[in-house]
């Protein structure tokens, strides 16, 4: 037993001496990367343990800082949302100012608060809204107000069967725009003899309380029967309702 212990001590001393004299460098180089990895792991874990008493001692201060950080993060998110909304409003107003509508029309801004069969707005009688007023986004016609309360109003969309908008193509062909199944916009009551082609632009004619030259859409499909008095066309509407956040109700002064 004593002999074994003596041999271990002697071997250790010899290894220490050889290492001091750099005779073991050729053995240490292949082991450097594993040794570095082990040391790094051990140090990181031990640092975590050393930090734990500090964390416990300053728990209240740390939690307050975390709460403050979370509050600042929420404030930044809310600020970004507000900036996005302001940008959207600014874009809508720029579009509206660029619309070539008669000067005797005023625009009442409104926010969209719901959408199903109808579009619901956050303005009503108190804001000057009346039934029959046109609703636009930029130069695009969305529909008309068919019901209003003091602070809310409901918009009949172009896809609704109850709407009837006098319209004219860029070739001068007249007809009535109405909806079908709350999905499709139709250009109806078009005389067979009048020219009508795919991609013709369809605009409001300026009748029935609708301002003139509002964009309705483009002709996408034509249904014609030579034996019938009228022909009918499907319209690809320019109104992308689900994306609208702010619109304008048009009032004639």
Q: What is the mean pLDDT of residues 213-222?
A: 94
What is the SS3 string spanning 44-110? Answer: HHHHHHHHHHHHHHCHHHHHHHHHHHHHHHHHHHHHHHHHHHHHHHHHHHHHHHCCCCCCCEEEEEE
Which of these ranges, 49-58, 187-196, 203-212, has the smallest mean pLDDT?
49-58
Asked if 124 and 149 touch (Cβ cutoff 8 Å), the reply is yes
Cα distance between residue 216 and residue 189, in whole Å: 16
pLDDT band of 209, cuts 50, 70, 90: confident
At residue 201, the 3 state secondary structure works out as: strand
Would you state the pLDDT for residue 200?
Answer: 95
Q: What is the mean pLDDT of residues 89-94?
A: 53
Q: Identify which has the larger pLDDT, 253 or 112.
A: 112
Q: Identify which has the larger pLDDT, 56 or 234.
A: 234
Would you state the pLDDT for residue 141?
Answer: 93
Q: Is the pLDDT of residue 137 over 60?
A: yes
Residue spans of the domains in the chain: they are: 101-253
pTM of the model: 0.61
| Closest among 145, 111, 164 to 250, alpha carbons compared | 145
Would you state the pLDDT for residue 115?
Answer: 86
Q: Is the pLDDT of residue 104 over 90?
A: no
Asked if 218 and 236 touch (Cβ cutoff 8 Å), the reply is yes
Query: What average pLDDT is seen over the chain?
Result: 78
Would you state the pLDDT for residue 85?
Answer: 57
Would you state the pLDDT for residue 103?
Answer: 67
Asked if 143 and 185 touch (Cβ cutoff 8 Å), the reply is no
In angstroms, the Cα distances linking 205 to 174, 184, 202 are 8, 20, 9
Does domain 101-253 fall under CATH 2.40.10.340? My reply is yes
């Amino acid at each position: 037993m004593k002999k074994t212990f003596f041999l271990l001590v002697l071997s250790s001393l010899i290894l220490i001496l050889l290492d001091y004299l750099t005779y073991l460098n050729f053995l240490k180089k292949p082991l450097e990367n594993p040794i570095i990895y082990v040391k790094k792991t051990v140090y990181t874990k031990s640092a975590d343990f050393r930090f734990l008493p500090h964390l416990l001692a300053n728990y209240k201060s740390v939690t307050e800082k975390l709460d403050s950080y979370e509050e600042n993060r929420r404030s930044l998110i809310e600020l970004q949302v507000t900036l996005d909304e302001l940008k959207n409003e600014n874009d809508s107003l720029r579009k509206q100012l660029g619309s070539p509508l008669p000067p005797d029309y005023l625009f009442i801004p409104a926010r969209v608060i719901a959408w199903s069969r109808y579009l619901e707005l956050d303005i009503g009688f108190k804001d000057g809204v009346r039934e029959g007023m046109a609703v636009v986004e930029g130069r695009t016609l969305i529909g008309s107000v068919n019901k209003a309360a003091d602070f809310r109003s409901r918009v009949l969309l172009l896809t609704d069967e109850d709407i009837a908008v006098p319209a004219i193509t860029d070739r001068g062909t007249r007809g009535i725009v109405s909806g079908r199944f709350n999905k499709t916009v139709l250009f109806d009551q078009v005389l067979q003899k009048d020219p009508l082609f795919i991609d013709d632009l369809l605009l409001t004619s300026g009748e029935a309380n609708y301002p003139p030259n509002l964009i309705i859409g483009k002709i996408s499909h034509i249904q014609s029967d030579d034996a019938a008095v009228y022909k009918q066309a499907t319209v690809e509407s320019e109104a992308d309702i689900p994306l609208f956040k702010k619109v304008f109700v048009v009032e004639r002064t």
